[in-house]
Amino acid sequence: MLTLSMEYILLLVRNYYDILLASILFISITLYKVSGRTKDAKSCIPGSLGIPFVGETFALLSATNSVKGCYDFVRLRREWHGKWFKTRIFGKIHVFVPSVEGAKTIFTNDFTLFNKGYVKSMADAVGKKSLLCVPQESHKRIRRLLSDPFSMNSLSKFVQRFDNMLSERLKKVQKEGKRFTVLDFNMKITFDAMCDMLMSIKDALLLEQIERDCTAVSDAMLSFPVMIPTTRYYKGIKARTRLMETFKAMITSRRNGKEYHEDFLQSMLEKDSCPVNQKLDDEEIMDNLLTLIIAGQTTTAAAMMWSVKFLHEHGEVQDRLREEQISILKSKPNGALLTLDDLNSMSYASKVVKETLRMSNVLLWFPRVALDDCNIEGFEIKKGWHANIDASCIHYDPALYKDPMQFNPSRFDEMQKPYSYIPFGSGPRTCLGINMAKVTMLVFLHRLTSGYKWKVDDLDPSLERKAHIPRLRSGCPITLTVLQDE
C-alpha cells in the first residue's frame, strides 16, 4: 500500500511539475512579503521590498519607460504607503525622504553619516573617478580642482560666447521658418557650448560623434546593468569606451604640443608638474569631462524647455519678464553681448529661473548611502540603505509653498525656509555647475523674450520615455514671432 502511494505521488509530480513549481514559488514570495512587512513595522518605515535582489526594480523601469516618467513609481508608492516609504531597487533598499528636516539631516552630514549613492548603471556610465562616485578623500580634492572654471568670475567669458552662439542660432531659426523644437534646440546648443568651454571643440563631425556617444551613455544611466548586446546599458558602456579613447587622444595631442587652447582641459593639463594632491590624473580628467558634459547638457536643456512651457501658460509672467529684458536690451549699445553685470540686474528673470527649477524638478531626488545605523525624524535607517532626498515632494509641499502647482516667480520675493529649495542639492556636494546653469538660463530667457514671442504647437503633457530626468515627449515645439513683426 505504501509502495502504491509513493508511485502515485511520483506520477502526480511528473504530470503536474509546472503547477507544483509555480505554487511553491507563489507561496515563497507570499511568505517573503509577509516577513518583509513585519520587518517594516519594526523599523517604522512602510513599503514593500519585493523578492530578493529584484525587489521593485521592474516597476521602476516600467515607470521610466512610460509617458508618466520614472517619478510615477515614487508617486504611486507614496499613495500606497504614505510620505515615508521604502523599496528595493537594483538589489538595494531605498528610503524616500520627503521632508525639509530629513533633507537637512542628510545634507549636513554628508561624508560623516552619509555618502553619495547611485545605482550601478549610473556609476558605470560616468566612471569610478567621476565627482559623482568618488569617496570623500578624493571628492574634496577633485571638486577643489574643478571648481575654479565654474566660479562666477570665470564664467564671464562663457556668458559672452554662449550669448553670441544663441543669438546667431535664433536668427538662423527665424530665417529658416520660425518653428522648432525647444528641447532639441537646447540640447544641441548647450552641448556645443559645453564642448567649446571644456575642450574648444568646434568641428561639426567630431561634435556629432561625441554627442551621439554621450546620448547613449546618458540613456544607460537608469537601465538594468547587464552586458547584453542591443540593450541600453550595453550601448552606453560601449559608447563610454569610445569617448574615453577620444578624450585620451586629445590629451596626448596637447601634451605633445600639437594643440593648445585656453579652456578647461588645458587648465587641467597645465598642472602636470604639480604635486599629486594638486592635480588630476588622466582617468579623473576624462571621467569628469564626461560627467560635466552630460550633467551640463541634459539638465540645463530640460530646464530651459520647461521655462518656455511655463511662460507660454502664464502670459502675465511672460509679459513682466519681457518688460525687464527689453529694458536691459535698450540700455546697451546695439548688438552688444550680455555681461555678468547684465545678468546680475535681472531680478525678475532670476525668480523665473528659480520657479522653473522648483516646478520642473530636473533632479527628482538626491541619493545618499547611510554609513551607519541612524535615525531621521523617528524613522530608522540601517547602514547600507539608500536615503533618497525627494526634491519633488519637498518642492510641491503646500506647507512650504502656497499653491505649489501654480507657476509663480513672485513667491521668491520672500526668503524660503532652509532646505525647502534644493534643485542643486546642498552641502559639500552642491552641484558644481550651479552657476553655469543659472547664467545659461538667464541668457536664454533674455534673448527669447527680448526678441520674440512664441506659441507652443503641441500641448501634450506626456513625458519622454526612458529619460532619467523629466522632459516633454513632444520636446515643446514652438513657432516664433519676431517682436518687430507685430
Is-contact 386 400, C-beta < 8 A?
no
* pLDDT computed for residue 19 by the predictor: 45
Range of the domain at 468: 41-482
Q: Determine, yes or no, domain membership for 427.
A: yes
Q: Determine, yes or no, domain membership for 36.
A: no
CA atoms within 13 A on the CB side of 197: 26
For the ranges 45-54, 116-125, 262-271, 390-399, the one whose mean pLDDT is highest: 390-399
Q: Alpha-carbon distance 453 to 479, whole Å?
A: 8
User: Cα 446–447–452 angle (5° rounding)?
Assistant: 110
Q: Is 374 annotated as a binding residue?
A: no
Mean pLDDT of the chain: 88
Q: How confident is the model at residue 39 (pLDDT cuts 50, 70, 90)?
A: very low
Average the pLDDT over 163-191 and give the result.
93
pLDDT digits (tens, 9 = 90+) for 75-104: 999 999 999 999 999 889 999 999 999 999
Sorted by sequence, the CB contacts under 8 Å of residue 64 that are 6+ apart come out as 70, 73, 222, 465, 466, 467, 468
Q: How many domains does the chain have?
A: 1
* pLDDT computed for residue 485 by the predictor: 55
Q: Determine, yes or no, domain membership for 320.
A: yes
Residue 485 CB: number of other CB atoms within 10 A?
10
More confident residue, 348 or 154: 348
* pLDDT computed for residue 268 by the predictor: 92
Percent of the chain with pLDDT over 70: 91
Q: Alpha-carbon distance 190 to 319, whole Å?
A: 26
pLDDT digits (tens, 9 = 90+) for 141-173: 999 899 887 887 788 889 999 999 999 999 999
Q: Determine, yes or no, domain membership for 224.
A: yes
Q: How far is CA 291 from the centre of its chain?
A: 11
* pLDDT computed for residue 163 by the predictor: 97
User: Edge to edge, what strands does the sheet with 92-97 contain?
Assistant: 47-48, 85-89, 92-97, 386-390, 365-370, 114-116
Dihedral (CA of 212, 179, 67, 358) sign: positive
Amino acid making up residue 390? D
Q: Determine, yes or no, domain membership for 15.
A: no
Q: Has residue 1 got a pLDDT over 50?
A: no
* pLDDT computed for residue 28 by the predictor: 45
Q: Determine, yes or no, domain membership for 16.
A: no
More confident residue, 117 or 435: 435
Residue 431's nearest CA partner among 305, 303, 268, 292 is 292
* pLDDT computed for residue 24 by the predictor: 43
* pLDDT computed for residue 177 by the predictor: 81
CATH number (domain holding residue 421):
1.10.630.10
Q: Alpha-carbon distance 271 to 290, whole Å?
A: 20
Average the pLDDT over 116-127 and give the result.
84
More confident residue, 432 or 15: 432
Average the pLDDT over 466-482 and give the result.
92
Sorted by sequence, the CB contacts under 8 Å of residue 359 that are 6+ apart come out as 306, 310, 395, 405, 407
Instruction: Give the alpha-carbon dihedral of 150, 154, 160, 165, to 10 degrees.
Output: -40
pLDDT digits (tens, 9 = 90+) for 125-134: 999 999 888 8
Sorted by sequence, the CB contacts under 8 Å of residue 28 that are 6+ apart come out as none
Average the pLDDT over 442-458 and give the result.
96
Q: Has residue 16 got a pLDDT over 70?
A: no
Q: Has residue 32 got a pLDDT over 70?
A: no
Measure CA of the first residue to CA of the last residue in the chain; give whole Å. 99
Q: Has residue 9 got a pLDDT over 50?
A: no
* pLDDT computed for residue 8 by the predictor: 36
More confident residue, 376 or 122: 376
Amino acid making up residue 129? K
Q: Determine, yes or no, domain membership for 19.
A: no
Q: How confident is the model at residue 136 (pLDDT cuts 50, 70, 90)?
A: confident
Q: Determine, yes or no, domain membership for 127.
A: yes
Percent of the chain with pLDDT over 90: 69
* pLDDT computed for residue 43 by the predictor: 54
